[in-house]
Chains A and B, each alone.
Chain A
Amino acid sequence: GQNIDQPTEMTATEGAIVQINCTYQTSGFNGLFWYQQHAGEAPTFLSYNVLDGLEEKGRFSSFLSRSKGYSYLLLKELQMKDSASYLCAVSDSNYQLIWGAGTKLIIKP
């Protein structure tokens, strides 16, 4: 079967760094996406990885290891507005997105 695992909830302090992990088992792999979703709103695109390594985009970075079926999203210099759910999604052999349940990130002052 296809499976995406990520922690249900994480808490971090404003200004700090947090790493959100995602492990996956899917039929085929055409890349991994991270999306941010604020409560009551639609998901918005953050990053895409298809090759191993780190992709940096401002305060956010995403890492991929295809051999380990593993990715993480790194958020630096956390701000209160980063409080949201972070969704990991894998594009499978048919370019369908298989979604994780999301990690709710709580930022404390």
Chain B
Amino acid sequence: DTGVSQDPRHKITKRGQNVTFRCDPISEHNRLYWYRQTLGQGPEFLTYFQNEAQLEKSRLLSDRFSAERPKGSFSTLEIQRTEQGDSAMYLCASSLMGTGEDEQFFGPGTRLTVL
């Protein structure tokens, strides 16, 4: 299967701990997006990359969140000093060019629970 993959699928952590998630996009896709989704809501944009460059980061995103895409392939999202409000599904998506009808393909998500 050459779709978007995410690891881990589930993560339970205690408040104050750091967590890191990984996303492997579809191989030929240049754009990679991170979203957060809570129950009954649509995906909330966190950040996106064009190849290895991080082009935009949501103003709502605190400094505890950081993302990298060092070689323009896989990406990592790190949350430092987790809080209970960080509990959510973290979705990664990729697209070929990021223009017009260029649909985003989503991974299965990482469900984070902060105790």
Chain A interface size range: 20 to 34
- Which residues of B come within 8 Å of A, CB atoms? 33, 40-45, 48, 56, 91, 98-109
Do A89 and B56 contact each other (CB < 8 Å), given the known contacts A42-B108, A97-B104? no
Max chain B C-beta neighbours (<10 A), residue from A30, A48, A99: A99
Determine the chain A residues whose CB is within 8 A of the CB of B108 once the complex forms: 41-42
Contact B43 A43 (CB under 8 A): yes
B11 to chain A, nearest CB (A): 15
Per-residue B-contact encoding for A14-51, CB less than 8 Å = 1, 0 else? 00000000000000001101000000011111001010
B81 to chain A, nearest CB (A): 27
Report the Cα distance A89→B48, complex, angstroms. Answer: 16
> Which residue of chain A has its CB nearest to the CB of B58?
A96
Known: A30-B100, A48-B101. A42 touches B42 (CB 8 A): no
Q: What residues of chain B lie closer than 8 Å to A45, measured between beta carbons?
A: 103-105
| Closest beta carbon of chain B to A8's beta carbon, Å | 8
**Is the beta-carbon distance between A91 and B43 smaller than 8 angstroms?**
no
A42 to B40, CA, bound (A): 13
Contact A91 B40 (CB under 8 A): no
A102 to B106, CA, bound (A): 16
Q: Which residues of B contact A78 (CB under 8 A)?
A: none
